[in-house]
Amino acid sequence: MKQDVRILLLGEPKVGKTSLIMSLVGEEFPEEVPSRAEEITIPADVTPEKVPTHIVDFSETEQSDLFLKDEIIKANVICVVYDVTNEDTIEKIKTKWIPLVNGDAEKGNKIPIILVGNKSDLRCGSSMETILPIMNQFSEIETCVECSAKNLKNISELFYYAQKAVLHPTAPLYDPEDKQLKPLCVRALSRIFYISDQDNDRILSDAELNCFQKSCFGNPLAPQALEDVKTVVWKNTSDGVQDNGLTLNGFLFLNTLFIQRGRHETTWTILRKFGYDDCLELMDDYLYPELRVPVGCTTEISALGRHFLQQLFDKYDEDKDGALSPAELRNLFCVCPYMPWGADVSAAVATTDDGYVSNRGYLCQWMLQAHLDVHRCLEHLGYLGFPILTEQEALTTAVTVTRERNEDLEKRQTQRSVFLCKVIGPRGTGKTAFLQRFLGRSLVSEESCSSALSPYVINTVQVNKQEKFLILNEVDVDTEFLKASDASCDVACLMYDASDPHSFDYCASIYKQHYMESNIPCVLVASKVDLQEVRQFHGMAPAEFCYKHRLPAPLPFSSLALDCGSRSLYSRLAWAAMHPHLNGSDMSSTSFWLRVALGSAVVAVLGFAIYRAVARLK
């Protein structure tokens, strides 16, 4: 909304422009006036809309055309004054003044105009008959008002209308020629309708209407008023009321009615509450609130955000199967200007057998987005109406900025619930399979290793009976992995192929280069343990290497394993991420790891011996 309003009065000489201004300011009719009044500013607190208002006079005898052009450009609204007793001054409205003001302006860019018929004390009837055709001809005319500077009639009203024309403009909302809402306005109001329809039945019930009314105007509707609204809509539309509630068409009709009756401010209040600016775009302040994320901190969806997102899930999971089908997902995001989630989402999170995003997968994806790109995440939450439905001042309460990692290290505990694990290893080690296994999937064929899969996957894991979110990020071996920022994460998973003698070398060098001196926990994983294990060509055997560097011994993994053993592997990654202070600091914990790890390696190898035996029998 505009921060101040500039009103310019134009019109033929002697119609009473200066007198109108002096009457407003002095609250009495001045018998003698100068040809031009000085510019005056009315302070915000005495104007009806509480914005400072500048009133500017014009006098043909005193001012040049150049000066006039300049004033027209600066004005937010123009009052074209005519004398109700002088036909010639009315004629000049269309032949001179409106062309002068808006002659060059494009449709939609015109300055709003108010027609002011002064000296109504000198005439019995009204000038409306002559004025109406002019109003119909020029859509930029917001309204017309007859007044008298002499009797002080309608003077404050005139300035109120002028103020309103600027603060609650018609042009973005309504096309007076087509007599209907403009497309952008329909789009904005439809979004508002879908957000307010909390049970997703495409009807605003009494309860939903009241909620809507309360969030926009601060108080609920009286029961009678509610009935009256519905009756008006019902009488004037064929499909505006259904099952005793308002349909989208009914809601749009109601707003058309507000505007046609000069109550634009009602529709504008609604639009602004839902974050729209004067051009009917969502405001930057609304979509992109300031959020400071210091180095070493991460961002997660807050408890409030999770609650909101869960309600949204329940609203759009129409068949209540605990997953969102592509159609349900489209409906959920119908209030966004673009579809925020593409095919990459179902590749990154847990899905049902049909490939639908499960409830857990849905929440995981939000967590992933909040972690990787919190601003984009907030933007999406803004489209979905988070601050309105949760009655929050700003979007930022949907996320939490976690404590700095160094502080977590110092205090030896963390409140975070999302951890990032980089999965690093030479080409062909089975990193993609490792990521897919985390989502409970197996790689179907070789080609699925390629671009259809996401470099990020996220799922929940249990650590100490708590639910945590673990993000696995497969690091592309081809890209140079040299920058410290590439290496940074909460836990590094260094993976080598136990069946390839050259594999471990890569992990060892990455470890020495990036992690040995850092406080990032590292976990080594030996992949393909279902195959014949070979001796690594590295100077030291992997177990020995780990022992020397105080790392837990390599954990065995096979993407072919169907047992739940691999799940505990992911939990261990999360556990290591949660306890970075234990990283390599304590020999006893290392030997603990060693024991646990070697134990499970034996079990795993035995398991595969049996697996192979069974496979051979088939």
Cα separation, 182 vs 198, in Å, equals: 26
Shortest spacing between CB 77 and ligand GTP, in angstroms: 18
Q: 149 or 492, CB closer to Mg ion?
A: 149
Using CB under 5 A as the binding rule, whether residue 63 contacts Mg ion is answered as: no
Q: 121 or 344, CB closer to ligand GTP?
A: 121
Stretch that binds Mg ion, among 28-36, 184-192, 425-433, 462-470 (CB under 5 A): 28-36
Using CB under 6 A as the binding rule, whether residue 13 contacts ligand GTP is answered as: yes
Cα separation, 504 vs 498, in Å, equals: 8
Tell me the CA distances in angstroms from 135 to 10, 106, 219, 403, 609, one per residue in order.
17, 18, 36, 62, 90
For residue 587, which of 554, 556, 552, 541 has the smallest C-alpha distance?
552
Cα separation, 36 vs 253, in Å, equals: 45
Cα separation, 388 vs 92, in Å, equals: 49
Cα separation, 359 vs 320, in Å, equals: 11
With CB under 5 A as the contact rule, the residue among 6, 8, 18, 149 that binds Mg ion is 18
Phi-psi region of 284 (alpha: psi -120 to 50; beta: other; left: phi over 0): alpha
Phi-psi region of 302 (alpha: psi -120 to 50; beta: other; left: phi over 0): beta
* Residue of this chain nearest to Mg ion (CB atom): 18
Segment 125 to 154, residues that bind ligand GTP, using CB under 6 A = 148-150
Using CB under 5 A as the binding rule, whether residue 59 contacts Mg ion is answered as: yes
Using CB under 6 A as the binding rule, whether residue 14 contacts ligand GTP is answered as: yes
With CB under 6 A as the contact rule, the residue among 5, 7, 8, 17 that binds ligand GTP is 17
Stretch that binds ligand GTP, among 11-19, 312-320, 471-479, 557-565 (CB under 6 A): 11-19
Residue 404 DSSP class: P
Q: Report strand pairing: 53-56 vs 5-11.
A: parallel
Using CB under 6 A as the binding rule, whether residue 121 contacts ligand GTP is answered as: yes
Q: How many angstroms from the chain centroid is the CA of residue 153?
A: 48
Single-letter amino acid, residue 260: Q
Using CB under 5 A as the binding rule, whether residue 448 contacts Mg ion is answered as: no
With CB under 6 A as the contact rule, the residue among 10, 33, 520, 573 that binds ligand GTP is 33
Choose among ligand GTP, Mg ion, none what residue 19 binds, the Cβ cut-off being 5 to 8 Å by kind: ligand GTP
Choose among Mg ion, ligand GTP, none what residue 118 binds, the Cβ cut-off being 5 to 8 Å by kind: ligand GTP
Stretch that binds ligand GTP, among 58-66, 163-171, 434-442, 522-530 (CB under 6 A): 58-66
Q: 118 or 527, CB closer to Mg ion?
A: 118
DSSP element (H, E) containing 491:
strand 491-497
Residues 87/94, Cβ–Cβ less than 8 Å: no
Phi, psi of 492, deg, nearest 5: -105, 130
With CB under 6 A as the contact rule, the residue among 35, 143, 237, 448 that binds ligand GTP is 35
Choose among ligand GTP, Mg ion, none what residue 148 binds, the Cβ cut-off being 5 to 8 Å by kind: ligand GTP
Stretch that binds Mg ion, among 53-61, 258-266, 360-368, 571-579 (CB under 5 A): 53-61
- DSSP states of 242-259: ETTEE-HHHHHHHHHHHH
* Residue of this chain nearest to ligand GTP (CB atom): 16
Shortest spacing between CB 151 and ligand GTP, in angstroms: 7
Q: Which residues bind ligand GTP (CB under 6 A)?
A: 13-19, 33, 35-36, 59-61, 118-119, 121-122, 148-150
Q: Footprint of Mg ion on this chain (CB under 5 A)? A: 17-18, 35, 59
